[in-house]
Amino acid sequence: MYKIFYLLLTCFYICSAKNSLHSSMIRHFKPLVFSAILAITLSLGAETKGNADEGKKIYEANNCGSCHNLDKKVVGPALRGVGKRRDIAWLTKWIRNNQALIKSGDADANALLKEYGGAQMSTFENITPAQVVDLVAYLDLPKPPPTGGAKKPGVPEPPKSDNTLYILLALIGIFLVLLLILNKVKNTLRKLNAEAAGEELASSNKNWLQRLLPARLANMNQVVLALFSFAIVVILGGGYLYSFGITEVGVQKGYAPKQPIAYSHKLHAGDLKIDCKYCHIGVEESKSATIPSANICMNCHKGIQKRQDDESGVDISPEIQKIYTALDYHPEKSGAEQFGSNGKPIQWIRIHNLPDHAYFNHSQHVKVGKLQCQTCHGPIEKMEVVQQWSTLQMGWCIECHRNTGIDVANNNYYLALHEKASKDMKENKSRSKYFGPDGKVKVTVALNGGLECSKCHY
């Protein structure tokens, strides 16, 4: 195509240059040059067939990419080099009205329909036969060499071992030992010095504890001293262990296990702004929010096989391949053969392990209480790896139930409570419990039985 453009440019140049060139020369050459250019242009035009740039525009304007990819099967076949496989007249018929072509009994068309499991292509009668030629020219372009692609795909970072604490402790230990040694050396030197001077040091027959302690304590009875220091150790250590026990043992806040697929909530819920309910479909209907089944992934990942900014050069990202493996899905096949029968469930690791003896229901909190997911799960749309955000301790539940006001007036779920509350207030009975500390009406979850033991433990 560019060749034609340059030839025409040359032609234009020669024509316009007649003023500067000798006129007689032009007069002799002009017809010759023109005929030569015309002949070359015609022969080239017959060779290239259509404008690939125009073809690209047509391809994009008609969103052919929604079902086709140039180099791999999506819904329809891979299209690169289609002009070499089919003749242009057949392609024109197929693209403009494939259904008419199928009905006419064309063998190739019907074979194609069968191969793709009866999935019908839309008709594109808005594309003129001349545009089909351009389109095919675009589709016949050779594959461009991959850009970038130097990075190796899917090399995971070595796991960071969290041993800073141990290093710190070891260092502290070493320094303490050094301190003690130096102290010992100092004492020995002092002792030697005293012996040399013929004196006797007062502290020489004290033990190490007596030496560490101030004189008043050190002169106490040894047994009392031992008991006293033992009691201190027991009280401090016990207190520490007790507080540790109630804040850490059995509390999994911060638990962020590595999942079988490196699914990023930051990408999906944050950047792509997909509503949580798109995947966690049970959250308004049932006790659990539900872990999405793989078919939900496939609503998008049938078409999206790698990140847009993926430069590793792979066709299918290894993480998305795991979904395909779980479903036994083979994108390179077509029709009913795409799904095999050897699917294997993805074993996600459960993060929020509420004990069996406590009952929790998502629908009650999300549908009735109209809570945001983030209230309990934290800024999930910013988490690359999900971690348990709340403690899920009983005190945490109770505190929220005591303090959260409920919208009794505008929520049919609280109809009975609303009637009772308005009746009580009219009759001036137990009025005070319906008011918050600021004097405004506030009906809390606790007033609706949110603190009853049997609501959660049964």
Q: Which residues bind other proteins (CB under 8 A)?
A: 62-68, 74-75, 118-120, 122, 124, 162, 165-166, 169-170, 173, 176-177, 180-181, 184, 208, 244, 248-258, 271-275, 277-278, 281, 288, 291, 293, 295-296, 298-300, 302-304, 308, 344-345, 349-350, 353, 355-357, 388
- 457 phi and psi angles, rounded to 5 deg: -120, 110
Nearer to other proteins, 378 or 434 (CB): 378
Q: Is 441 helix (H, G, I), strand (E, B) or coil?
A: strand
Nearer to other proteins, 109 or 445 (CB): 109
Nearer to other proteins, 357 or 429 (CB): 357
User: Is residue 434 within 8 Å of residue 335, measured between CB atoms?
Assistant: no
250 closest CA partner among 373, 396, 414: 396
Token pair 């095999």 is found at: 340
CB of 223 to other proteins, least distance (A): 19
* Other residues' Cβ atoms within 10 Å of the Cβ of residue 165: 8
CB of 207 to other proteins, least distance (A): 9
Q: Is 237 helix (H, G, I), strand (E, B) or coil?
A: helix
Cα dihedral 178→182→187→188 (10° resolution): 100
286 closest CA partner among 360, 348, 389, 372: 360
User: Is residue 168 within 8 Å of residue 181, measured between CB atoms?
Assistant: no
Nearer to other proteins, 183 or 422 (CB): 183
Single-letter code of the amino acid located at 57 = K
Q: Is 313 helix (H, G, I), strand (E, B) or coil?
A: coil
CB of 214 to other proteins, least distance (A): 19
Nearer to other proteins, 71 or 271 (CB): 271
Instruction: Give the CA distances from residue 201 to residues 189, 191, 197, 216, in Å, rounded to whole numbers and listed in that order.
Output: 12, 7, 11, 18
CB of 158 to other proteins, least distance (A): 14
130 closest CA partner among 80, 88, 87, 82: 88
CB of 345 to other proteins, least distance (A): 5
CB of 275 to other proteins, least distance (A): 4
Nearer to other proteins, 251 or 368 (CB): 251
CA 113 from centroid of its chain's CA atoms = 37
Nearer to other proteins, 305 or 448 (CB): 305
Q: Residue 58: which region, alpha, beta or left (left: phi > 0; alpha: psi -120 to 50)?
A: alpha
Token pair 């030197």 is found at: 189
Nearer to other proteins, 120 or 430 (CB): 120
Q: Is 98 helix (H, G, I), strand (E, B) or coil?
A: helix
Nearer to other proteins, 264 or 293 (CB): 293
CB of 21 to other proteins, least distance (A): 53
Instruction: Quote the CA–CA distance of 34 and 229 in Å, as a whole number.
Output: 113
Instruction: Quote the CA–CA distance of 13 and 35 in Å, as a whole number.
Output: 15
Write down the H helix ranges in 368-414: 373-377, 394-403
Angle, in degrees to the nearest 10, between helices 52-61 and 129-139: 100
CB of 192 to other proteins, least distance (A): 17
Instruction: Quote the CA–CA distance of 213 and 211 in Å, as a whole number.
Output: 6
Instruction: Quote the CA–CA distance of 433 and 442 in Å, as a whole number.
Output: 8
CB of 80 to other proteins, least distance (A): 16
CB of 8 to other proteins, least distance (A): 35
Nearer to other proteins, 285 or 419 (CB): 285
CB of 447 to other proteins, least distance (A): 27
Nearer to other proteins, 96 or 443 (CB): 96
